[in-house]
Amino acid sequence: MNRKEVAELAGSAGLGAWAAFAVLAMVVGGRAGAPLWLDHGLHTWAVGHRPEMAVTVARGVTSTGTGVVPYLLATLAGALMGGTARQRWQAAALCLACLGLGQLLRSGVMELVHRPRPPHADWAAHAGGWAFPSGHTTTAALTAGMLVLALTLRAPRGGTALRTAVACWALLVGLTRIYLGVHWFTDVVGGWLFAVGWLGTCLCAAAYVLPAAFLGPTTVPAAEPAQEQAPRDPGDAGRSRPA
């Protein structure tokens, strides 16, 4: 892909996600944060189906969506994106900036929407702050998006299983927030949409700023073999060959 194609694809995906996120945020805000019809059903099911082992596993998965783990994975994504040592640390810095700025923007939206969490009595994990959009979900989705992008850039024809595993990890982090009772379903959906919108925005901007080497593996075209030509006798100039 060239710069224009990458920018157009990322911009279109980001714009669509932002539009859907804005609609969802207005619906949630318009109801003063009250849960929607699907929120109640999934929350009730989660609270009623929580054996001890499943809760332990869910807590382990959800813990990877916050703290140092996402930042380490974002640094790894940057290291994979760069083709040289200098490009690696530059890409790592950009990935960390994308994640950090995304966190700040998401925190601002949470304060703006001001949505309460589910009842505290239903919580099976620690949580703090407002509910929409889900912080763990957003962080994991942003990190997974950068890792998938890095794997795609450096191994466009391989690594499908690894990219799928990374995407499933982000999906599971979001689902554990519902299962543990600390978020409504629409909080998690909002986190996914926010992550896609922010990643699309960052990638669209990066497509115009980063060197072309970041858009895919660097390939050096093979030199064309020189045509061999027999040496010519200067004394033959102007003479015709005998038949």
Q: Where are the domains of the chain?
A: 3-214
Query: Alpha-carbon torsion 154, 73, 59, 38, what sign?
Result: negative
What pLDDT score was predicted for residue 98?
95
Cα separation, 63 vs 27, whole angstroms: 29
Tell me the average confidence (pLDDT) per consecutive run of 10 residues in the chain, 243 residues long.
78 94 94 88 93 96 95 93 83 94 95 94 92 96 94 78 94 97 96 96 83 51 46 51 46
Measured CA to CA, the distance from residue 9 to residue 7 in angstroms comes to 6
pLDDT of residue 231: 52
pTM of the model: 0.84
Q: How far apart are CA 35 and CA 23, in angstroms?
A: 15
Count of positions (residues) in the chain:
243
Give the C-alpha separation, 186 to 192, whole Å: 10
pLDDT at 219 (0 to 100) = 39
